[in-house]
């Protein structure tokens, strides 16, 4: 028998976002704009290394005791503890009662995977293994859950008619789903829509989840990055803990610390008792060991320094505010240009009502394609744009191009 040639392996399509970025890089048009990438850019369209990260890096480099030994399987303890306080709150009852289980992961993607894998193995599924995902959601969510044998199903979230939240549809699905269903919730700055529930709506969501004995799978990739306030962006997560909602939280430091390539994240599971927490941590350790042995040290040490030093933490808060405020200012300017100067047909108030890195513009796939083909403005087919890709140099060009596309002048 001949050696395996892999001829029957189907050729997979390239990732849509990375394909978009490659097309942008290959384009020689001088005014090209990349609104696809989910990474912060400064007003000169450059990646921004946070000043606090530069400061923390120098501290690490000058530490005579720094080595390159393995971290524990569940990660750097002072990082995980600091990360838990950041998302759950320093005064969280879950932390005080010793029932918050925190494990360092390969950024938010790794946290989602480890959380999904743990649920796949140990959650008491009364029906087929399924998770409810918002329609739409981060594209990678679907692949992550399918990879561990959990079937994604949609729940209504985005309402194209209002370019806002389909709250009635969302609540209706929570109420009609089988008891004990698992729902993935975006803690803040929903990706890709930028549409978040209000606090009163979050309270209603928590109430139904408790009544139906559902499980909340939080994904939090934008704490601080959404509003510029770390505590404000963690409100929903902390409220759910306070109300005793069964839950876990996936956390990423890619966006809010600008550590995209260092892959720094954490998974926090909140069981009802310390005994259950000890059992959960023991199994997370087994799962992590079989997959990555132990997580990387460098980024965790940087974030740990920042989380556990009050002066550095204050610096970080300022840096976060800088990023969030620039994005908010781009929202305000784009709204002004479209409504006041260009008088673009339609309502554009959703641009300033949405929050975080992304905005759903409300344009259709053919209009999105026209922006790419005619104006060299790269965005996803569903009309999502990264507000971080806009700046004082290109926002007018984008607004004028969008106006032409909406008016059908292409």
CB of 388 closer than 8 Å to CB of 327: yes
pLDDT at 336 over 60: yes
pLDDT for the residue numbered 340: 97
Catalytic residues: 138, 219, 255
* pLDDT value, residue 287: 98
pLDDT reported for residue 38: 85
Tell me whether strands 358-360 and 377-378 are parallel, antiparallel or unpaired.
Answer: unpaired
* Overall average pLDDT of the 129-138 stretch: 97
Q: Please, which pLDDT band fits residue 127 given cuts at 50, 70 and 90? A: confident
pLDDT, averaged across the chain: 96
| Per-residue model confidence (pLDDT) at position 316 | 98
pLDDT at 1 over 80: no
- Cα-only R_g, the chain: 22
- Once rounded to an integer, what is the mean pLDDT over residues 55-78? 97
The predicted model gives 21-32 an average pLDDT of: 95
Q: Closest Cα partner for 35 from 351, 409, 404?
A: 351
Residue 207 pLDDT more than 60?
yes
Tokens read off for 267: 């998974």
pLDDT in tens, 98-122: 999 999 999 999 999 999 999 999 9
What is the pLDDT at residue 307?
Answer: 98
Other beta carbons within 10 angstroms of residue 193's beta carbon come to 27
pLDDT in tens, 273-292: 999 999 999 999 999 999 99
SS3 assignment for the chain: CCCCCCCCCCCCCCCHHHHHHHHHHHCCCCCCEECCCCCCCCCCCCCCCCHHHHHHHHHHHCCCCCCCCCCCCCCCHHHHHHHHHHHHCCCCHHHHCCCCEEEEEEHHHHHHHHHHHHHHHHCCCCCCCEEEEEECCCHHHHHHHHHCCCEEEEEECEECCCCEECHHHHHHHHHHCCCCCEEEEECCCCCCCCCCCCHHHHHHHHHHHHHHCCEEEEEECCCCCCCCCHHHHCHHHHHHHHCCCCEEEEEECCCCCCCHHHCEEEEEEECCCHHHHHHHHHHHHHHHHHHCCCCCCHHHHHHHHHHCCHHHHHHHHHHHHHHHHHHHHHHHHHHHHHHHHCCCCCCCCHHHHCCCCEEECCCCHHHHHHHHHHHCEECCCCCEEEHHHCCCCCHHHHHHHHHHHHCCCC
pLDDT, tens digit, for every residue of 359-406?
A: 999 999 999 999 999 999 999 999 999 999 999 999 999 999 999 999
How many Cα neighbours within 13 Å face the side chain of 152? 20
Looking at the whole model, is its pTM more than 0.75?
yes
């Amino acid at each position: 028998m001949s050696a395996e040639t892999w001829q029957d392996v189907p050729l997979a399509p390239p990732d849509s976002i990375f394909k978009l970025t490659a097309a942008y890089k290959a384009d020689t048009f001088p005014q090209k704009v990349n609104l696809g990438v989910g990474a912060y850019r400064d007003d000169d369209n450059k990646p921004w290394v946070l000043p606090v990260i530069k400061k923390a890096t120098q501290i690490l480099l000058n530490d005579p005791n720094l080595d390159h030994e393995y971290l524990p399987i569940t990660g750097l303890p002072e990082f995980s503890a600091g990360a838990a306080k950041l998302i759950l709150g320093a005064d969280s009852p879950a932390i005080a009662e010793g029932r918050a289980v925190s494990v360092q992961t390969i950024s938010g993607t790794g946290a989602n995977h480890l959380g999904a894998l743990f649920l796949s193995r140990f959650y008491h599924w009364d029906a087929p293994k399924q998770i409810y995902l918002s329609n739409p959601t981060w594209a990678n969510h679907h692949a992550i859950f399918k990879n561990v044998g959990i079937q994604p199903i949609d729940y209504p979230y985005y309402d194209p008619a209002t370019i806002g939240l389909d709250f009635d549809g969302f609540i209706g699905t929570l109420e009609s789903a089988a008891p004990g269903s698992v729902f993935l919730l975006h803690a803040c700055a929903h990706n890709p829509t930028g549409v978040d529930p209000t606090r009163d709506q979050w309270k209603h969501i928590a109430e139904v989840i408790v009544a139906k004995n559902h499980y909340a799978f939080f994904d939090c990739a934008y704490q601080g990055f959404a509003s510029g306030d770390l505590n404000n962006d963690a409100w929903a997560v902390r409220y759910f803990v306070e109300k005793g909602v069964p839950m876990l939280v996936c956390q990423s430091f890619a966006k809010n610390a600008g550590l995209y390539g260092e892959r720094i994240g954490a998974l926090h599971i909140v069981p009802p008792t310390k005994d259950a927490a000890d059992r959960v941590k023991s199994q997370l350790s087994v799962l992590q060991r079989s997959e990555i042995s132990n997580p990387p040290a460098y980024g965790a040490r940087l974030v740990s320094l920042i989380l556990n030093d009050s002066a550095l933490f204050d610096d970080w808060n300022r840096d976060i505010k800088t990023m969030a405020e620039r994005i908010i200012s781009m929202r305000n300017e784009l709204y002004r240009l479209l409504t006041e100067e260009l008088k673009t047909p339609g309502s554009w108030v959703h641009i300033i009502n949405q929050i975080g890195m992304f905005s759903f513009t409300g344009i259709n796939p053919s209009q999105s394609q026209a922006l790419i083909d005619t104006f060299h403005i790269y965005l996803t087919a569903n009309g999502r744009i990264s507000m971080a890709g806009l700046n004082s140099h290109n926002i007018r060009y984008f607004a004028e191009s969008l106006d032409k596309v909406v008016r059908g002048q292409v």
